[in-house]
Chain A
């Protein structure tokens, strides 16, 4: 499992209300949710995002509400991976459950800048910054979580 894309960079405590504002939660339609993704913090995100792009942020990404609409909006907008120093726990869980790749890596969050081109190897946790020619090592997933990801989400993993 690998991905490669350009980076959208954010700071600390990116909350689920800015990822997908509650005023749009009267639908569960993923495409409609994605069309408003990040609009209260970065109104050009939806216009600029390209398939396989990567979000990089600092501490406590995804804090706030339990809305699964948040990782769903990010994934449907085309983002292939979120890298942050830490994630809020419900967001972390939701991302794994719906198959949005997320990685915790302090060094990557510190060194990667917006617009950098970055490649990620999910099996090894190695993040390569192609723009800066640097590599960073992310925490690998525990085996239990790898099983959920390899089954393509929690519900599929339960059906085995």
Chain B
């Protein structure tokens, strides 16, 4: 039986000629990631277990992004613990305020993940790096501690669902709409324990930013990982970023899939996930009249340069509606800088948006944009669970940067056509 992309990456890292679904393996890791929330728990476990060395100074990344710049004293203590650990063990890829970014925007940008890598991260959106053709999955802090100490992790080899993409996205429709559409179709546990593998001739029409956004939300369908076939777009992205050897893995032609979905990208419309689950999707023409209080454009899902570009194109020369607070958060320092250079920062500020240093902040109700009881936000983030962005009686509507920017202008959930005309 042939292997899927994921199975090939896992077999190579387990030192096995082949693996099959359900098989338990121990795999060598190319990168172990943690953030300012999950790393302190991992460091405590690491110390408690009596480990006194890390497996590789270059293969651990600690990114202070969730509650930073430190939102309170406790958050400051957590970052301090991470900083001390990084210094003690000479962790090369430690990113703090001033050069940090949102982890899943930052690591691909820095070339820390390559095609064919095997990566774990103590953050559920670690699945983002599947966009580069890596096997990459979220774990907890104990797994992170074990990974830092041994450079290995245990996995149950997953089966896969294949998404065969064709056609081309319409204007103002993005990877976010595709992944929300897919989650709406298969549900929040539609890919539970499994891989989501993206392939097909439509792939060439998806930018890296679209792919990173789609792989990012694989977890929102319950998937173990999302992974994209490596093509010229991927290779062009990693060129000049990744400075080490890597291997490109392709699925065997006789690989077996639990299910195969054909998706015509040209048929996807702007899509919005209603509270309180990402699977509660409606297309923009079905949304109705929903007044909003806040817009957030940013996060590991949609804080990349193309997202900023889209938002700027819609907000240029316009004003955020009265009674709406709009918060724009680029994912990394280099994206932030590019926003300044290209004039997007000025557009956002002139439109009446807050324009922030990178942080996960509001996405998980941490800081920088918490909702009061009864308030509604349109957000380009990834989860709309009860209480996710603040009060338990607030609501989050997940959408693309185009829909979020348009909604900021109209004050209700709107597609870009409502602002720009057809």
Count of interface residues, chain A, beta-carbon cutoff 8 Å: 40
Q: CB distance B38 to A67 under 8 Å?
A: yes
CA distance A122 to B123 in the complex (A): 30
Residues in chain A near residue B124, CB distance under 8 A = 64-66, 90
Q: CB distance B385 to A64 under 8 Å?
A: yes
Q: CB distance B50 to A89 under 8 Å?
A: no
Q: Which residues of B are in contact with A by a Cβ distance under 8 Å? A: 24, 37-38, 40-41, 44-45, 48-50, 66-67, 71-72, 74-75, 78, 121-124, 126, 138-143, 145-146, 149-150, 154, 188-189, 192-193, 219, 222, 224, 277, 364-366, 383, 385-388, 392
Q: CB distance B364 to A17 under 8 Å?
A: yes
Q: CB distance B188 to A155 under 8 Å?
A: no
Residues in chain A near residue B145, CB distance under 8 A = 155
Q: Nearest chain B CB to A37's CB is how many angstroms away?
A: 14
Q: CB distance B383 to A25 under 8 Å?
A: no
A113 contacts partner chain B, Cβ-Cβ < 8 Å: no
A121 contacts partner chain B, Cβ-Cβ < 8 Å: no
The stretch among A2-10, A75-83, A93-101 that forms the contact with chain B is A93-101
Q: Which residue of B lies closest to A71 (CB)?
A: B140
Residues in chain B near residue A97, CB distance under 8 A = 140, 142-143
Q: CB distance B193 to A89 under 8 Å?
A: yes
A48 contacts partner chain B, Cβ-Cβ < 8 Å: no
Q: CB distance B189 to A66 under 8 Å?
A: no
Q: CB distance B224 to A89 under 8 Å?
A: yes
Give A30-74 as 1s and 0s: 1 = Cβ < 8 Å from B's Cβ atoms: 000000000011000000000000000001100111111101100
Q: CB distance A21 to B387 under 8 Å?
A: yes
Q: CB distance B192 to A66 under 8 Å?
A: no
A–B complex contacts, Cβ < 8 Å, 8 sampled: A15-B386, A18-B385, A18-B386, A23-B366, A26-B72, A65-B123, A67-B37, A142-B24
Q: Which residues of A are in contact with B by a Cβ distance under 8 Å? A: 13, 15, 17-18, 21-23, 25-28, 40-41, 59-60, 63-69, 71-72, 86, 88-90, 93-94, 97-98, 142, 144, 153-156, 158-159
The verdict on A26 contacting B67 (CB below 8 Å), with A40-B387, A66-B140 known, is yes
CB-contact partner of A68 in B141, B149, B277, under 8 A = B141
Residues in chain B near residue A89, CB distance under 8 A = 192-193, 222, 224
CB-contact partner of B140 in A13, A21, A63, A67, under 8 A = A67
Q: Nearest chain B CB to A103's CB is how many angstroms away?
A: 16
Q: CB distance A69 to B41 under 8 Å?
A: yes
Q: CB distance A15 to B74 under 8 Å?
A: no
CA distance A28 to B50 in the complex (A): 19
Q: CB distance A63 to B189 under 8 Å?
A: yes
The verdict on A159 contacting B188 (CB below 8 Å), with A17-B385, A97-B143 known, is no
CB-contact partner of B189 in A13, A26, A158, under 8 A = A13
Residues in chain B near residue A13, CB distance under 8 A = 188-189, 277
Q: CB distance A28 to B140 under 8 Å?
A: no
Residues in chain B near residue A60, CB distance under 8 A = 188-189, 192, 222
